[in-house]
Chains A and B, each alone.
Chain A
C-alpha cells in the first residue's frame, strides 16, 4: 500500500524509474510535465512534429516556441521545472514495424499518439514485441465535459483511459481541459503501476 510507503521511498522508487512516451502532443506533453514534476528519473519521448500556434490551446508549449521541434521544446520546458530528470528525446516518426525501437528499456510506456490507426498499431505492436512492459493508452480525448464517462479499462498489460461515447477528433474539438485530464489520468496510472496499490 502507498500509505505504508514513506515519502522518501516513493521518491527513490520514482527516481529509479523510466517512462517512454510515444507522441509529444496534447497527451504526451502534459503527461511528461506531470511525470517530471512527480520526480520520474528518466523520460524517453518520441515525436517528429514542430510546435504550431494551434497546439497552444492544449499542449505544453509557449508562444516563443512556435516552429521549434516539439521534443526539444518539451525537454527545455521540463528542465525548467525539474532539471534532475533525464530527458531522452528522439525527433523521429514512429513507424509500423519499429514502434518498440526506443522503448525497450523503460518500465512503463504511454501511448500519446493522434490518429486512431497509429494508436492501434502502436498498442498492438508494443503488446506483441514488449509483452512484459505495461502500456497505457487513451481513447476519446476530444470534446469537453463528460468527465464522468472516462474510465480505466484494464486488459492484461494494457491500461486504457477510455470514453466509449466520445467523438473522433475529426468531428469534435480538442481542448485543454479534457486532453489534460486524460493526459494526467495516464500519468496517474504510471504512478499506480510503479508504486503499487
Chain B
C-alpha cells in the first residue's frame, strides 16, 4: 500500500487525486509535468485523476534561476 513519488516511498491513500497528493507531499512549486507510470497527466486533470496503488509518480518542476 505505497506509491513512489520522485523515487521516494510514500503511503498510498485511497481515492486521492493528483492535486491532493501534491498538496500532501508539499509540492507547492510551479509544476511543469506530472507523470503516473510514465503517462503524462494534463494539469486540467489534476483534480480528477485518482492515484493508483503501487504507482510511480514523477513530478518535474521549475526552480528559479537563469
Q: Which residues of A contact B (CB under 8 A)?
A: 23, 25-28, 112-117, 119-120, 123-124, 137-142, 153, 155-156, 158, 160, 162-164, 166-170, 172, 174, 179
Contact = CB atoms under 8 A, between A and B. Distances in A.
A197 B65 CA distance: 29
Contact of A114 (B29, B32, B33, B65): B65
Nearest to A162: B60
Interface of B: 6, 29-33, 35, 40, 43, 60-66
Given A139-B61, A155-B40, A164-B6, A113 B32 contact: no
Contacts of A139: 32, 60-63
B38 to A, nearest CB: 10
A105 B4 CA distance: 40
A174 B65 contact: yes
A141 B62 contact: no
Contacts of B66: 23, 25-28, 112-114, 119, 138, 141, 169, 179
Contacts of A124: 32, 43
A187 B65 CA distance: 17
Nearest to B35: A155
Contacts, number: 78
A138 B66 CA distance: 8
A120 B60 contact: no
Given A26-B66, A141-B66, A179-B66, 15 more contacts: A116-B29, A119-B62, A120-B31, A123-B62, A137-B62, A141-B63, A141-B65, A153-B60, A158-B32, A160-B60, A164-B61, A168-B64, A169-B65, A174-B65, A179-B65
Contacts of A115: 64
A153 B60 CA distance: 8
A124 B40 CA distance: 14
B30 A116 contact: yes
Contacts of A137: 32, 62
A123 B6 CA distance: 21
Please indicate which of the listed interface residues A112, A162, A163, A179 has the most CB atoms of chain B within 10 Å of its own CB.
Answer: A162
A196 B30 CA distance: 31
Contacts of A164: 6, 60-61
A166 B66 CA distance: 13
B45 to A, nearest CB: 14
